[in-house]
């Protein structure tokens, strides 16, 4: 199945909500064109059209220099292998203008499609709809203001509004869509943080499997030593991914496990060491101490580690994800996000709010419970899926 179709299906709840909401807004108070007046706007001028995306996904190693300048890859560094979180994206119509034009040319949108003049009332309805889709008030206001710029009084069809919205969303998301950077450092230490249940274990398993498929050697440290069940789950995912999982006795110090794991990874020349961590936010001070101790200890072995601190967020928590980012930014030096459970949630809009508010890279999205249900984040596909623009 085309990846776009899969994403669209999986984002069904979000997209149908926006999709139907936008249709309703236009129908509410719309007039039917028969035919549209010659001077009617054939289609709105595109807003701040996002720079055309290259056909190819960004290179695996980001432009970001390795943590300290001295660690920057030497010119002779071996060519990076394709990043594991890159998944070939099938050709899909862009979220923006082209599909609309094509749609029109192919007669997808009849000239009798209902149109509604863009006025304050309609803008308010749009804002409300975006807020209910978890975009948050600030982002919803900014998005609608941009959509309205230069278009007040223009008569727009539902499809044109969806295209405008998709363009605006893609424009916000474009800068944050970056795969997890890979460095020539061995081991590259990836600290994985997030609240319990956000999908850390699952994401570590999926990422480990993708890194391994890309030819990297990976080892996982089960750093949530306080919960036997968490360790067992991680072992199951390690088995699935074919990657060893280092564990420590229940209740032992996670920092000491991290130390041992670093030593083993260094000894074995392992490419990536992924460290799972506890996610108990109930006692923030303890968690902060635990995370900073892990970091202190691994820095004794490599002062540039951790090279990535991934925050795993559960999309179904909606706006709560925003406060989790704020909290974890205080606890750890978060370098990127993975958003899980985007399948089957009506709260996908929170990604837009996250990108708008924090600008942290979104490395990947979880769209299911299977090992291959982790996809690179593609802003245009996401915008199209979220707004219900598709190839129907
Ligand atoms: N539908 C869906 N479910 C997911 C996704 N990612 C994780 N899950 C499910 O979410 C639940 C929690 O995932 P875990 O990976 O165990 O979460 P965790 O953060 O490690 O949780 P703790 O072990 O309690 O700290 C599991 O039932 C997973 O199958 C996803 O992308 N989509």
Domains (range + CATH), the chain: 3-34+93-176 (1.20.120.140), 188-376 (3.40.50.300)
201 is in an annotated binding site: yes
Q: What is the CA radius of gyration of the chain?
A: 23
Tens digit of each residue's pLDDT (9 = 90 or more) over 347-362: 889 999 999 999 999 9
* Dihedral sign of CA atoms 131, 135, 141, 144 in order: negative
Q: Please, which pLDDT band fits residue 9 given cuts at 50, 70 and 90?
A: low
Ligand 1 atom 17: the closest Cα is on which residue? 199
Location of structure tokens 């089960």: 222
Q: What DSSP state is assigned to residue 47? A: S
Ligand 1 lined by 155 (C-beta under 6 Å): no
**Which pLDDT score, from 0 to 100, does residue 388 have?**
86
What is the percent of the chain where pLDDT is above 90?
Answer: 61
Q: Which two tokens stand for residue 230?
A: 């968490």
367 lines ligand 1 (CB under 6 A): yes
How far, rounded to the nearest angstrom, does the alpha carbon of residue 304 sit from its chain's CA centroid?
25
Measured from the Cβ of residue 75, the count of other Cβ atoms closer than 10 Å reads 5
Q: Can you say whether residue 229 is alpha, beta or left, with left for phi > 0 and alpha for psi between -120 and 50 degrees?
A: alpha
Dihedrals phi, psi of 167, to nearest 5 degrees: -60, -45
318 lines ligand 1 (CB under 6 A): no
Q: Is 142 annotated as a binding residue?
A: no
Chain-centre distance of CA 389, in angstroms? 19
* Residue nearest to ligand 1 atom 26, measured at CA: 199
Residue 229 tokens, joined: 């069940």
Closest ligand 1 atom number to CA of residue 276: 20
Greater pLDDT, 6 or 211: 211
280 is in an annotated binding site: yes
How far does the centroid of ligand 1 lie from the alpha carbon of residue 37, in Å? 53
Average pLDDT, the chain: 81
Tell me which residue has tokens 């540039």. Answer: 304
- pLDDT at residue 311 above 90? yes
374 CA distance to ligand 1 middle (Å):
12
* Ligand 1: residue whose CA is nearest its atom 6: 199
Which of 27-31, 67-71, 271-275 is most confident? 271-275
Q: Which of 191, 189, 203 has the alpha carbon at shortest distance from 334? A: 191
Mean pLDDT in residue range 89-106: 41
- Which residue, among 52, 83, 93, has the nearest Cα to 364 in the 3D structure? 83
């Amino acid at each position: 199945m085309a990846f776009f179709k899969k994403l669209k299906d999986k984002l069904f709840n979000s997209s149908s909500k926006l999709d139907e909401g936008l249709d309703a807004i236009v129908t509410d108070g719309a007039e039917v064109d028969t035919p549209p007046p010659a001077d009617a706007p054939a289609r709105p001028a595109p807003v701040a059209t996002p720079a055309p995306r290259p056909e190819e996904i960004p290179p695996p190693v980001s432009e970001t220099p390795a943590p300290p300048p001295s660690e920057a890859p030497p010119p002779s560094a071996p060519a990076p292998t394709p990043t594991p979180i890159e998944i070939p994206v099938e050709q899909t119509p862009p979220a923006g203008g082209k599909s609309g034009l094509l749609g029109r040319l192919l007669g997808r949108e009849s000239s009798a499609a209902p149109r509604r003049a863009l006025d304050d009332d309609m803008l308010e309805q749009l804002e409300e709809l975006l807020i209910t889709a978890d975009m948050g008030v600030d982002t919803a206001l900014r998005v609608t203001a941009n959509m309205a710029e230069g278009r007040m009084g223009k008569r727009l069809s539902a499809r044109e509004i969806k295209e405008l919205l998709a363009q605006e969303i893609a424009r916000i998301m474009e800068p944050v869509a970056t795969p997890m950077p890979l460095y020539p450092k061995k081991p590259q230490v990836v600290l994985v943080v997030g609240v319990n249940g956000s999908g850390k274990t699952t994401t570590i398993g999926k990422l480990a499997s993708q890194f391994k498929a890309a030819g990297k050697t990976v080892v996982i440290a089960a750093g949530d030593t306080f919960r036997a069940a968490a360790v067992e789950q991680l072992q199951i995912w390690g088995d699935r991914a074919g990657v060893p999982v280092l564990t420590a006795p229940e209740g032992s110090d996670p920092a000491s496990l991290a130390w041992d794991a670093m030593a083993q990874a260094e000894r074995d020349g392992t490419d990536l060491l992924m460290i799972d961590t506890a996610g108990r936010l109930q006692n923030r001070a303890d968690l902060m101490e635990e995370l900073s101790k892990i970091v202190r200890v691994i820095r004794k072995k490599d002062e540039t580690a951790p090279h990535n601190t991934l925050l795993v967020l559960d999309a179904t928590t909606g706006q709560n994800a925003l406060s989790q980012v704020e909290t974890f930014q205080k606890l750890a030096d978060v370098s990127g996000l993975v958003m899980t459970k985007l399948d089957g949630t009506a709260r996908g809009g929170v990604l837009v709010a996250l990108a708008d508010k924090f600008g942290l890279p979104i490395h990947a999205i979880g769209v299911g419970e299977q090992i291959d249900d982790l996809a690179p984040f593609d802003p245009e596909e996401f915008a199209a899926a979220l707004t219900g623009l598709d190839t129907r």
